[in-house]
Amino acid sequence: MHFRNPYKEPPDFAILAECYPKLRKYLIPGHDGHTTINFWNNDAQRALTEALMLRDFSIRLTLPAERLCPPVPNRLNYILWLQDIVRHSPATLDGTVRGLDVGTGASAIYPLLGCKLESKWTFIATDIDKTSYESALLNVARNDLQERIKVQLSDADAPLFKLLAVEDSSTVFSFTMCNPPFYATAEEVSRSTEMKHLPPNAVCTGADVEMITDGGEARFVRLMVEESLQHPLRCRWYTSMLGKLSSLMEVVDDLKSNDVDNYAITEFTQGQTRRWAVGWSFYRDRLPDWIARIGNPNPTIQGLLPGRNTVIQPLKSKTYCDPRVLMGVINEIKDASVQQKQTAEWDDSDAPLKLIVEVTGDTWSRKARRANKSSQTKFNAEMEKWEKGIAVSVFSVEWKNDGGSLLVFQWIRGEDRALFMSFSSYVTRKVQDII
Ligand SMILES: C[S@@+](CC[C@H](N)C(=O)[O-])C[C@H]1O[C@@H](n2cnc3c(N)ncnc32)[C@H](O)[C@@H]1O
């Protein structure tokens, strides 16, 4: 569960029903003496989702009986992860964030939650199912969000990112998102129901179009990867949720075979249900590991994780050390431009020193310093960089006092992972030599 998700503990259903009387008739006594609801009952689930959306987000939702009922904690997890991604991506000039929700469903739950949490977010939400499309339109209108959420009826044969393929548009989307149909066939659905693989809070209330797609979710998301390669810079972060580990493996394989190294994986856990989300970008902005990598992964997931963008180096010193040592070391790096990092309003870290360092290449390693002596070598290196179009790499370094002192290096922008790694070990070694 995301650390900002308020649903780590189940709600008090009796209190919730006071805010949403439609829930009252589904209340039942639980084993532990607390009131609960019957999670196997579709109507009760719908009433629960409507109640949570109303009480906790002031969102008025009506869910049609014949369509999927989205569990709020799980859907909120995905939105919170996107919020992290957006906060760590460059802001647009006017601060507007543009999201594209592929397969928004009857609820339009993702755009509604996104717009309630963030006043600058806007969405285009697509669906191929007329019933879901019409219901999504109503839900958006009910909450007076038509200006910020545009619902579009799409075509099953059209590209998933048809909108991004519009050639003369210069709009860059901040993210795409999707909770794709999960299964490949109707037999797979009934097998899964028979084997009772579904936990009670995921009881199947969906229509075929919501749950089944040719090739299952893995093919659906691989199509997205394929389409994203056609217009890589029309969106900063392409993302999708995945319900099966095997699908995650397929998609990561696909990204790697297309040389996409800037990707992120997260895990959404609710009770016994595990879901994953994957994101990939063709921009040079790098996400911190706490967003892009799952902490404490099992060995299978470990092998899927992207390379590290965050390096944490504990400093060995028995006495108090002055963070200004770091400033001194960084200032001595040739051709590096250094600024104090501005703290965003949502950032509550209390690091005593935060720096942003921009470099155009390695000027610190022994090899670089030797090469620097020869002006021809230096000229060649500059030419090579220029030809490759490699611009500035941006790193942040924070000095933290968390038990002992730590240096936290963050790769913020760039293409050269080795440069980031070399920079962090050089700075650590130098600081360590001084303290
Ligand atoms: C699993 S449901 C997700 C609904 C909603 N986003 C949620 O999370 O509760 C998948 C949705 O994708 C829609 N869908 C299936 N194929 C699609 C396509 N090619 N383009 C857009 N939407 C599609 C389905 O109609 C369905 O509403």
ipTM: 0.99
Q: Ligand 1 centre from 275 Cα, in Å? A: 16
List the pLDDT tens digit at each of the 435 positions of the chain.
Answer: 899 999 998 899 999 999 999 999 999 988 777 889 988 888 999 999 999 999 999 999 999 998 999 999 999 999 999 999 999 999 888 899 999 999 999 999 999 999 999 999 999 999 999 999 999 999 999 999 999 999 999 999 999 999 888 766 778 999 999 999 988 788 887 777 665 545 544 555 678 888 888 888 999 999 999 999 999 999 999 999 999 999 999 999 999 999 999 999 999 987 778 899 999 999 999 999 999 999 888 899 999 999 999 999 998 875 667 778 888 899 988 888 888 877 666 666 777 788 899 998 888 887 777 776 566 666 666 656 555 555 689 999 988 887 788 899 999 999 999 999 999 999 999 998 888
Q: How much is the pLDDT for 210?
A: 83
* Distance from Cα 105 to the centre of ligand 1, integer Å: 5
Q: Which pair of structure tokens corresponds to residue 27? A: 């209340």
- Look up the pTM and report it: 0.92
Ligand 1 atom nearest 110 alpha carbon:
6
What are 40-43's contacts with CB under 8 Å, separation 24+?
40/200, 40/203, 42/69, 42/203, 42/205
Residue 258 C-alpha to ligand 1 middle, in angstroms? 26
CA distance 275 to 74: 9
pLDDT of residue 232: 94
- Of the candidates 101, 177, 181, the one whose C-alpha atom is nearest the C-alpha of residue 145 is 101
Supply the pLDDT for residue 196.
52
* Interatomic CA distance for residues 339 and 353, integer angstroms: 11
| 127 assigned ligand-binding residue | yes
CA-CA distance, 403 to 397, in Å (whole number)?
18
- SS3 of residue 250 by DSSP: helix
Ligand 1 atom, smallest distance to 182 CA = 1
What integer pLDDT is reported at residue 200 of this predicted model?
Answer: 47
β-strands 97-102, 121-127 pairing: parallel
Cα–ligand 1 centroid distance for 154 (angstroms) = 10
Task: Report which DSSP code applies to 39.
Answer: T
Ligand 1 atom having least distance to the Cα of 75:
8
* Domains of the chain, CATH where assigned: 66-302 (3.40.50.150), 310-434 (3.30.310)
